[in-house]
Amino acid sequence: MKRILITGGAGFVGSHLCERLLNEGNEVICLDNYFTGRKSKIVHLMDNPFFEVIRHDVTMPYFIEVDEIYNLACPASPIHYQQNPIKTIKTSVLGAINMLGLAKRTGAKILQASTSEIYGDPELHPQPEHYWGHVNPIGIRSCYDEGKRCAESLFVNYHESNDVRVKIIRIFNTYGPKMEPDDGRVVSNFILQALQNKDITIFGDGMQTRSFQYVSDLVEGMIRMMNTTDDFIGPVNIGNPTEFTMLELAKNIIQLTQSKSNLVYMPLPEDDPSQRQPDIRLAKEKLNGWEPQIDLQEGLKKTISYFKEIISEN
Ligand code: NAD
Ligand code: UDP
């Protein structure tokens, strides 16, 4: 049995990771300040004596003896990370420093949930890990993008200078059950709008692309990455390479929900990346043939069922 700390454990991805690692017989400590996370996502785990929950902000140091740390604490949706940009930077940078310090003192292995936002609005398509990216350092997304880029630098430097056992994964757009209805990201927005026959809000002309990964595929990739040998630190892309335009996504969701919604076109937010698709060859090679198992149709159906339940409860 390993003792594992998950920062951001009450969030969308973190709550799935807590559940999976507990089910595998580990002791799991979930640390969260509930900025975008909710106790309701982890309440069903609280009867398990091997699960602990700590209300704490990663911008402040925290000490605990653990074997592994998954560092997920950080709002991921543009509307949430732009709400308080300075806090977002502090969460990424001070959070990384505090958790790396903990890993250094305890000898724990630590995995950073980095992001495809490292690549900004990419000029190289699909994006391999060796691409340095195309990020506006002073734009509205920079608090998130540059915060995560600085965190990657900290991870690499703690490894080089202090022998900390680090792992970096770059996560591409992930969706699934346990997303918050007010999350603001595209999949949850479109599904909720479609289920309620409300207008579907397409930003820009809807021709920008994303590649959507179902959450269980991400969790599998994270755990495989944590279990690689110490000489492989990444970064490694974890995402589903099948690429869609936002218009295709909207039409797909309308069809699956048999919705009467209309499409409405709204201004494209500043610096919105025009395309995004992971090159996952490195993940396949290093993570024992890891590749996504759930395609968009199947993943959307599961996510639609979840949001139907949420709507019926309210
Ligand atoms: P989320 O917003 O649902 O979860 C983030 C969690 O971190 C929440 O529980 C929140 O309360 C917590 N948190 C935020 N600031 C904190 C702080 N200062 N101290 C302690 N806890 C704090 O987002 P998510 O989709 O679950 O993303 C999890 C991680 O994965 C994030 O680091 C995100 O950047 C990364 N990521 C996610 C995606 C995606 O598509 N879901 C893509 C790329 C990267
Ligand atoms: N988007 C959209 N309508 C919405 C929400 C988002 O058209 O209601 C678009 C957004 O402009 C972006 C894409 O969907 O091009 C993905 O947005 P999301 O916020 O989910 O993630 P990110 O931009 O961080 O990849």
Q: What percent of the chain has pLDDT over 90?
A: 99
Residue nearest to atom 4 of ligand 2 (CA): 186
Which residues on neighbouring strands pair with residue 113, listed in sequence order? 169
Cα 310 to middle of ligand 2, angstroms: 22
Of the residues 144, 158, 175, 214, only one is catalytic, namely: 144
* Residue pair 190/153 in contact by the 8 Å Cβ criterion: no
Per-residue pLDDT, 273: 97
Ligand nearest the Cα atom of residue 6 = 1
Cα 8 to middle of ligand 1, angstroms: 6
Q: What percent of the chain has pLDDT over 70?
A: 100
Per-residue pLDDT, 3: 98
Domains and CATH numbers, the chain: 3-174+214-240+273-293 (3.40.50.720)
CB within 8 Å of 298: residues ≥ 6 apart: 214
Identify the residues whose C-beta falls under 6 Å from ligand 1.
7-8, 10-14, 32-37, 57-59, 72-76, 91, 95, 113, 115, 171, 173-174
pLDDT tens digits, 18-47: 999 999 999 999 999 999 999 999 999 999
pLDDT at 252 over 90: yes
Residue nearest to atom 4 of ligand 1 (CA): 11
What's the average model confidence in pLDDT over 117-121? 98
Cα 246 to middle of ligand 1, angstroms: 23
Ligand 2 atom closest to residue 206's alpha carbon, by position in its atom list: 7
Per-residue pLDDT, 311: 93
What's the average model confidence in pLDDT over 109-118? 98
Cα 262 to middle of ligand 1, angstroms: 31
What's the average model confidence in pLDDT over 190-210? 98
Distance of CA 274 to the CA centre of its chain: 19
pLDDT tens digits, 285-296: 999 999 999 999
Q: Burial letters for 56-84: b for 16+ Cβ neighbours within 10 Å, e otherwise?
A: bbbbeebeeebebbbbbbbbbbbebbbee
pLDDT tens digits, 160-173: 999 999 999 999 99
Ligand 1 atom closest to residue 171's alpha carbon, by position in its atom list: 43
pLDDT at 314 over 90: no
Cα 75 to middle of ligand 1, angstroms: 4
Q: Is 119 a residue of the active site?
A: no
Per-residue pLDDT, 43: 97
How far apart, in Å, are the Cα atoms of 238 and each of 27, 46, 127, 246? 25, 29, 11, 20
Mean pLDDT of the chain: 98
pLDDT tens digits, 46-95: 999 999 999 999 999 999 999 999 999 999 999 999 999 999 999 999 99
Residue nearest to atom 37 of ligand 1 (CA): 76
Identify the residues whose C-beta falls under 6 Å from ligand 2.
78, 173, 185-186, 189, 201-203, 208, 210, 246, 269, 272
